[in-house]
Chains A and B, each alone.
Chain A
């Protein structure tokens, strides 16, 4: 049994690389996802992944299959959308979701336009769906660097960020950190999406960011515990997902995200914080 679990990683370097890459991703992305979920911005992760796609595609057109070029392109596109949407939100009456939707749709269309005009039959499949079993050194270093930076920045802005989610009025009444905190957080969202698309693709990277975070809500009552649970869930999904893809000969990226999805379904049923099972098996109430 233990051999079945360990051997694929012992025998094959590509499996080890995939595991390390996913673990690094699991350290940075799920905590960011927790804050997205708590700020009711879950769908923003999805929108941002669309905004990044054209930038990555342009990088691909210019420099071919180059990790730095595609990441840089994706990062620039994502940051541009975030900054423009943020600026519009803070200076007009539009809400953040509306201005974000407007900019990411424009960004997406622009990307498709550029690719079409170029007229080449470039295979963008790996940008869309990732290549977790073919992570090279550059990709691994990028993912690890982003995970490190994410944890550092989150540690620095943790308190204002929590307060910005819980009671933004109070934060702006006691400090001026509200706006910088918000933008730094959005930068983290973009960074983690960029870091993840090598492995899981621009679309599915949102899965490793959000599914563990949503799962964690069923287990933890406090935000710091929620982050721990989310990271643990992402680790487990990466490990189990890779094994499943190895033995069942399935694509790895979707296997990891589907495992995370299974974790969510199970938690929804038996999670101690409002899981469905407990609602169907009411225990007798306490005295006080």
Chain B
């Protein structure tokens, strides 16, 4: 993972959406390996949609997306935590150990070495004494630490985070950001959907500003300008039932052939 110029993910005129209505429109470009990229945009801009597209949970409506030389198992994905049953009777240790799935699968046991890896992940995230606790007994911030500990064990080349700092206190955010910086020095590609612009300016060298299509993409300083942000804010969230069939892709190719 040492060659920084290699692309990790390439978008080729990618359109993603639901029920034929696009949520992100005609994205082209590539995310290079080792990038620390913030994904910014108003609600409904398509940030989550784009992340779901990258992990393959959503099939493109048109265009394509390729993981250059990487498999979908090289991606670790932290969705907005809606579907997790926090009342489930499972200990923190077991929940975190699931991050070793790529290693142990459905049937291999935790040997000494793997148990130590889990302990280390708990330690890194400041959960050392909570291993035996049930996940239902954790606070929101502690639970987010559990999810990050699991991500840590997944040891993935690409890490996708969907609003990982929602409703989390500053101390926890700092700790999690430290981990994200560590991932970057390890050459991993990290993409995070975020809202806090100051935080992005401080910690994320690159930004993709999204408002159903790409408004700007590049170094954070050049992307997060007043002009670009105003442009993004004008996004209309209307779901137009009468929407016309999008001709953009066809028109472009016609122009080329003509």
Contact = CB atoms under 8 A, between A and B. Distances in A.
Contacts of A167: 83-85, 98
Nearest to A162: B90
A170 interface: yes
A2 to B, nearest CB: 36
B69 interface: no
A174 B102 contact: yes
Contact of A165 (B57, B75, B85, B105): B85
A167 B146 CA distance: 13
B107 A159 contact: yes
A257 B90 CA distance: 28
Nearest to A173: B77
Interface in A204-258: 217, 220-223, 226
Nearest to B19: A93
A168 B106 CA distance: 14
Interface residues of A, number: 24
Interface in B52-102: 55, 57, 73, 75-77, 79, 83-85, 88-91, 94-95, 98, 101-102
B89 A38 contact: yes
Interface residues of B, number: 25
A223 B89 contact: yes
A223 B106 contact: no
A76 interface: no
A156 B107 contact: yes
Contacts of B154: 174
A177 interface: yes
B90 to A, nearest CB: 6
A221 B98 contact: no
A168 B79 CA distance: 11
A160 B106 contact: yes
Interface of B: 55, 57, 73, 75-77, 79, 83-85, 88-91, 94-95, 98, 101-102, 105-107, 134, 150, 154
